[in-house]
Amino acid sequence: MIYFDNAATTYPKPPSVIKAMNDALITCGNPGRGGHVLGRNAERIMYDCRVEAAELLGLDDETKIVFTNNATHALNLAIKSTMNEGGHAVTGGYEHNSAIRPLEAMENVEYDIAYSELFNEEDAIRQISSKIRADTKCVVLNHISNVFGNELPIHKIDDICYEKGIDLILDVSQSTGSEIIKAWDFKAVRFMCMPGHKGLYGPSGTGILACCKEDKLYSIIQGGTGSNSGDFAQPDFLPDIFESGTQNFIGIAGLLEGIRFVKGREDEIAQHKRRLIELFHNELADEKGLKFFFSNKQKSLLSISVYERNDDLFEHLCQKGICTRNGLHCAVTAHKSGHTIENGTVRISFSAFNKENEVKYLSEILKKYLKSL
């Protein structure tokens, strides 16, 4: 099997991740719920993971790291905390449904989608700016598209939001771990949302909500936090306001080692994935019948299309032992922006573990498939 579906979940995981989870099953109890040795072991893992994540993301305080189930959970917390009193929001034209559906579900919220031309940063800035109104409270933006790998100009949009006093929520699901993202480089960012199981090489069931600003927090889930237990009200401080119930400390043990795996290697991993993207494109650029969605600034992944035969191509690759992703990738706005809404795309996404010979093998399989049409 050759695995090219890393934008969904990275595979394989570093051996240290698997070992840490096994060890936690043996040595840990419930964190924050007892002073015995097993509880303290779990607390230490969670504390260490917060510290490592805060350093990775450029936060000055580990309590600003909130553990979530995934990026979807983090985005729901971020959006519903920011927009809990209603108002207007703007999203980019390459959002995952995890950003669109929370806004759609809130009855007191209006929102606009800023569709823009694929791989055109200036048009993205222009379209987002045109959607901002006097009552706009936040902009929700996907840093790197999970469909096309195009990077939006988040720093320029951050400047615009800061000038207008608007909060910026960043979905960094496809960039964390292979792009250097530091909270101190932004002025308007309130939250950064990410999964643990993608670019951080942790297990599923883990995610991070990085809280860059501590005011105006609102929780959508209440319950036991291990703190202020004599008070009926939910704690109003980080991270407890967003962390009710027993945390997935087994997964967090794996996430800790995943963060350690990528920390300090972000540029190396990004360059490795970029080389694989360019190799794949160069191998197939002249093939007839194959459409590439490719630019010189592409990150982590790319999409291809064989006219109306994407389903057939996907199944053919599965039969050859090659794992990719086909369809709309839970990102309808991206496919509307890229004009691929009718047939979707076949997505090829890379990780630190993919090799050049795997890309060449995929290229040969595709060449033979195209000749057979």
Better-predicted residue by pLDDT, 109 or 297:
109
Structural domains in the chain (count): 2
320 shares a domain with 214: no
| Per-residue pLDDT at 192 | 98
245 shares a domain with 298: no
| Per-residue pLDDT at 58 | 98
Q: What is the mean pLDDT of residues 39-46?
A: 95
Residue 235 near residue 41 (C-beta atoms within 8 A): no
Let me know if 2 is exposed, middle or buried by CB neighbors in 10 A (0-12, 13-18, 19+): middle
The type of residue at 304 is I
The type of residue at 342 is E
88 shares a domain with 29: yes
275 shares a domain with 344: yes
| Per-residue pLDDT at 234 | 94
237 shares a domain with 294: no
* % of the chain residues with pLDDT over 90: 96
Residue 281 near residue 294 (C-beta atoms within 8 A): yes
32 shares a domain with 91: yes
Looking up residue 351, the CATH number of its domain turns out to be 3.90.1150.10
Q: Residues with Cβ < 8 Å from 256, sequence gap 6 or more?
A: 20, 45, 48, 49, 52, 202
The type of residue at 178 is S
Hey, what are 110's tokens? 């209006």
236 shares a domain with 113: yes
Q: How far apart are CA 222 and CA 44, in angstroms?
A: 24
Last residue of a domain, which of 217, 232, 262?
262
Report the DSSP pairing between strands 189-195 and 207-211.
Answer: antiparallel
Last residue of a domain, which of 235, 262, 289?
262
The type of residue at 181 is I
User: Above 90 in pLDDT, residue 32?
Assistant: no
187 shares a domain with 202: yes
Confidence of residue 261 (pLDDT cuts 50, 70, 90): very high
163 shares a domain with 75: yes
**Model pTM score:** 0.96
Residue 95 near residue 170 (C-beta atoms within 8 A): no
Better-predicted residue by pLDDT, 216 or 82:
82
User: Above 90 in pLDDT, residue 214?
Assistant: no
User: b/e per residue, 69-90, with b = 16+ CB within 10 A?
Assistant: bbbbbbbbbbbbbbbbeebbbb
User: Above 90 in pLDDT, residue 283?
Assistant: yes
SS (H, E, C) the chain: CEECECCCCCCCCCHHHHHHHHHHHHHCCCCCCCCCHHHHHHHHHHHHHHHHHHHHHCCCCHHHEEEECCHHHHHHHHHHHHCCCCEEEEEECCCCHHHHHHHHHCCCEEEEEECCCCCCHHHHHHHHHHHCCCCEEEEEEECECCCCCCECCHHHHHHHHHHHCCEEEEECCCCECCECCCHHHCCCEEEEEEECCCCCCCCCCCEEEEECCCCCCCCCCCCCCCCCCCCCCCCCCCCHHHCCCCCCHHHHHHHHHHHHHHCCCHHHHHHHHHHHHHHHHHHHCCCCCCEEECCCCCCCEEEEECCCCHHHHHHHHHHCCEECEEECCCCHHHHHHHCCCCCCEEEEECCCCCCHHHHHHHHHHHHHHHHHC
Return mean pLDDT, the chain.
Answer: 96
Last residue of a domain, which of 242, 262, 282?
262
237 shares a domain with 135: yes
Confidence of residue 34 (pLDDT cuts 50, 70, 90): confident
Let me know if 63 is exposed, middle or buried by CB neighbors in 10 A (0-12, 13-18, 19+): middle
| Per-residue pLDDT at 308 | 81
Among 153, 146, 155, residue whose Cα is nearest residue 176: 146
179 shares a domain with 62: yes
Looking up residue 154, the CATH number of its domain turns out to be 3.40.640.10
Q: How far apart are CA 71 and CA 75, in angstroms?
A: 6
Cis geometry, peptide bond prior to residue 31 (ω within 30 degrees of 0): no
Count CB neighbours of 134 within 10 A: 6
Q: What is the mean pLDDT of residues 252-261?
A: 98
Calculated CA dihedral for residues 168, 173, 179, 182, nearest 10 degrees: 40
Count CB neighbours of 354 within 10 A: 19
User: Above 90 in pLDDT, residue 124?
Assistant: yes
Lowest mean pLDDT among 26-40, 64-78, 190-204: 26-40
Hey, what are 333's tokens? 């706005």
| Per-residue pLDDT at 83 | 97
68 shares a domain with 200: yes
User: Above 90 in pLDDT, residue 359?
Assistant: yes
Better-predicted residue by pLDDT, 355 or 35:
355
User: Above 90 in pLDDT, residue 315?
Assistant: yes
Domain residue limits at 228: 15-262
Q: What is the mean pLDDT of residues 168-191?
A: 97
User: Above 90 in pLDDT, residue 35?
Assistant: no
User: Above 90 in pLDDT, residue 216?
Assistant: no
User: Above 90 in pLDDT, residue 180?
Assistant: yes
